[in-house]
A and B are shown apart, each in its own frame.
Chain A
């Protein structure tokens, strides 16, 4: 990580552009970014381009194979699989797209703040963070979801809350790297308030780490979201969702494998795209991502 003091607006834009160019110049970054952009654009325009109504059932055409009218065949209720694959990422992208920035913002802020304050209170907070991390994610999420329902209004705050907790630890560690530097001491000696120090001295230096962390959290959140819908605790039918579609089509896998393969390829390509982008971004910003383990 490079240490810079807050650059003026236009150089920041220049830097963003040069980082972006660096990401695209790597083959993995170019492929990753293409997949992400493709999926986001598809999610935005898909309601207008799908060939069929996603909930229109047809009892005369159940589990038919791929053909000219139904490119990916039909599912067990006679619904067009291609239509549902095109629409299946919208809910996931909506929920994780809102929850990720919230998680990174609150986790990042708390982490930087406590990294700056330090001392006993910081020790205590880290123990609480450890305690939360020691519980399996699915347990924490399921308890809330089973109690409060599976709607978007429950999923977004739940994901944003739990995925912000590991960000606290990352942001705190990154803050510790800069907090002992001279320019922070100088700002302290000038009598700047904590908020000013965070805004002008710490945030510019921690932002790179937070960006990479955010990209990674996004892919894990997507993983969590689709796992939940696979288990039947995510979006409710008939809303098309890849996780749910895979769960439904699994039972007919032996004679209708296309019902599984469509959503499998769609979901995998999105998550791989996010990860490749995150990897390339980390390399462009000079942050080693491989040191991270599953949490």
Chain B
């Protein structure tokens, strides 16, 4: 068990390490660097030389990668290209805002998805299932910017109930984001609920036809007792991984929603940094998002391992 845990941790670290190399190599391969971006048209001759000298850009790539990676590991993400501000400071507020958005959507979406997933799974092919499953297909396939636009049109343009755009500044405390945050949270919740719900539904269906459920039915165990005591604990296990993937997606992939609602999160900062070619900031955000992704998936794997006795012993046997 412990060996398995350590192995997973080690693999996670290796993945983050490979990500850091991909990010560095990727940025390295792009034409231009932070000096050409900063100096723009004056980027030639002596001026460019001096800038590169000052930022240490003329050292060999391996050496710079080592410097960047070791200081990032210590939490020092460097300085943004066009200012003297530290990236950790710039990213801090934005990361907090993105986490707020993610937390609200998760708090709303996960219980809803599990409830609807169980209901549709138990009443498979009945009207409830058909209605919810059809809605889920719509929610998960329609692009986020489309559903966001439609919701803004309905709730803020036509009905005038909710603000359609976030005007709060990035560093404002969390409480000031209400009620502006409601529409972005709704859009995220819709997409997320649809994904988790489908997963839970198919898992419930699979479990309910299992031998031990039939056995319990034949023994005369009451239906709801079978559902809650025998079926659900097994059916909900796979949901842990989907929730993990969803969290990772919430933090990295909500760029479009942040742009639509003008929400000051990490995603919009990323777009701005890419447009401005502020490469140190791009590198930092990429590394943060990738690390979160790996950590969340890792925790989900470990959680599933602890929660599922079968998986636990399986891994032990394999060594």
Contacts and interface: CB of A to CB of B under 8 A. Distances in A.
A109 B176 CA distance: 51
Interface stretch (B40-48, B58-66, B219-227, B245-253): B245-253
**Interface hub of A128, A131, A135, A243 (most chain B Cβ within 10 A):** A131
B304 interface: no
Interface in B134-164: 137-138, 140-146, 149-150, 152-153, 157
B22 A132 contact: yes
Interface in A96-149: 127-128, 130-139, 142-143, 146-147
A252 to B, nearest CB: 11
A227 B149 CA distance: 12
Nearest to B277: A146
Given A134-B15, A135-B289, A138-B256, A253 B153 contact: yes
Interface in B30-53: 30-31
Interface in B275-316: 275, 277, 282, 285-286, 289-290, 293-294
Interface stretch (A15-23, A63-71, A268-276): A268-276
A60 interface: no
Interface stretch (A43-51, A206-214, A286-294): A286-294
B195 A294 contact: yes
Interface in A20-55: none
Contact of B22 (A135, A146, A243): A135
Contact of A219 (B23, B141, B153, B245): B141
B19 A134 contact: yes
Interface of A is mostly: helix
B202 A264 contact: no
B242 interface: yes
A161 interface: no
Contacts of B140: 275, 294
B11 interface: yes
Interface range on chain B (Cβ under 8 Å from partner) = 35 or more
B253 A294 contact: yes
A293 B246 contact: yes
Interface in A258-280: 260, 264, 267-268, 271-272, 274-276, 279
Interface of B is mostly: helix
Given A127-B18, A136-B255, A291-B238, A246 B146 contact: yes
B100 interface: no
Contacts of A78: none
A134 B270 CA distance: 15
Interface string B246-273: 1011001101100100000001001100
A139 B22 contact: no
A260 B260 CA distance: 14
Interface in B115-148: 137-138, 140-146
A175 interface: no
B193 interface: no
A226 B293 contact: no
Nearest to B15: A130
A68 B162 CA distance: 35
Contacts of B241: 293
B157 A147 contact: no
B94 interface: no
B199 interface: yes
A180 interface: no
Contacts of A276: 137
B282 A139 contact: yes
A142 B277 CA distance: 11
Contacts of A127: 11, 14-15, 18
B94 to A, nearest CB: 14
A157 interface: no
B103 interface: no
A52 to B, nearest CB: 25
Nearest to A270: B141
B202 A291 contact: yes
Nearest to A295: B245
A130 B18 CA distance: 9
Interface in B2-35: 11, 14-16, 18-19, 22-23, 26-27, 30-31
A9 interface: no
Contacts of B31: 147
A250 interface: yes
B19 A131 contact: yes
A4 interface: no
A290 B242 CA distance: 11
A59 interface: no
Given A135-B286, A253-B149, A272 B22 contact: no
Interface of A: 127-128, 130-139, 142-143, 146-147, 219, 223, 226-227, 230-231, 243, 246-247, 250, 253-254, 257, 260, 264, 267-268, 271-272, 274-276, 279, 288, 290-291, 293-295
Interface of B: 11, 14-16, 18-19, 22-23, 26-27, 30-31, 137-138, 140-146, 149-150, 152-153, 157, 191, 195, 198-199, 201-202, 238, 241-242, 245-246, 248-249, 252-253, 255-256, 259, 267, 270-271, 274-275, 277, 282, 285-286, 289-290, 293-294
8 contacts: A131-B15, A138-B253, A146-B274, A223-B141, A254-B157, A271-B142, A290-B198, A294-B246
